[in-house]
Amino acid sequence: MSSRIAYVNGAFIPESEASISIRDLGFVYGDSVFDTWRTFGGKLFKLEEHMDRLIESLTYAKIVIGMSRAEMIDATVDLVARNLPMLRSNEDYWVTFRVTGGLQNFDGEPARNLGPTVIIDCIPIPLRARAPFFKHGIDARLTDRCRIAPGAISPNAKTNNYLNMILAQKEISADFPGAWALMPDHKGNIAEGAGCNFFVVRNGAVFTPTTECVLAGVSRQVAIDLCDGLNIPIHEQDLSFDEAFDAQEAFFTSTSLCVCPVATLNGKPYPSGAPGPVTKQIMDGFAKLVGMDYVDQYLSFLSDGPASTGL
């Protein structure tokens, strides 16, 4: 079998044949939510935690999926199993479960919305594009474009409305190719990187913004739990730019990055290196938890090409 498989509205079909209607509300209005896992050695990580967050997002967006939690889990696990034969050596998958509001209805026409559109798909983690981040660290750049305020859309609902982050990343990439956008919140504090959570290390303690204005990332929680287990002081609080700028270390967390060191903020190097000693402890703890050296996996795909966020 040469084509990856996608799950579309209850059917497993070749990815190349998967499609949605031009009248789908996810496409027309962004009326959709999603969540994403990654695999380690072909095995899904934090399956239940991501699924619970997806269900919370569905509730927030008022989308009724028509599947039980168990059915959603079974479909996800089944899809990964079907796609494992297409996984190349030393690679792993991003696995994304998307649900839209279904088809748009029109005044005076027969009702056409028979329920939500449900899609699950697998694509390889961008190991080649992001490998340089694990050798040199990430160049984080603060944007002028702030994260959407929580009074408008909750940051803890994973919706397909990513234009806010995409514009921030495009603006940074235009001036600093290979850099990663770091967005402020509506109050002027640090919020999150485009698609990832942000942490700094100051005097041996770790600090990260509260979830008032940022997504409660699953990998963010793993890092917090690792800090607790390693007896590293961890604080969730508002984080000003000056506090982040004057820290000794920094790192991003996300489903695909896991824990990745930030080398510079607005061009200023963090003095403890990338990774610094505290960040390295957390990275090693993450690798032990998932049962594989994910840093070595990234570095095995390192080339002379430029780094890219993939956004």
Assess whether 9 and 119 both reside in one domain: yes
H or E element in which residue 283 lies: helix 277-290
Q: Answer with the one of 125, 143, 170 that is the final residue of a domain.
A: 125
Q: Answer with the one of 125, 160, 184 that is the final residue of a domain.
A: 125
**Mean pLDDT, residues 201-215 taken together:** 96
| Domain assignment of residue 66, given as a range | 5-125
The whole-angstrom separation of Cα 12 and Cα 121 is 10
What are the tens digits of pLDDT across the range 128-164? Answer: 999 999 999 999 999 999 999 999 999 999 999 899 9
Q: For the chain, how long is the longest CA-to-CA vector?
A: 66
Count of Cβ atoms closer than 10 Å to residue 285 Cβ: 19
**Mean pLDDT, residues 48-73 taken together:** 97
Classify residue 281: in a domain, yes or no.
Answer: yes
Question: Facing residues of 97 across strands?
Answer: 35, 120
pTM of the predicted model, to two decimals? 0.94
Q: What is the pLDDT of residue 311?
A: 76
Classify residue 133: in a domain, yes or no.
Answer: yes
Assess whether 42 and 24 both reside in one domain: yes
Assess whether 46 and 137 both reside in one domain: no
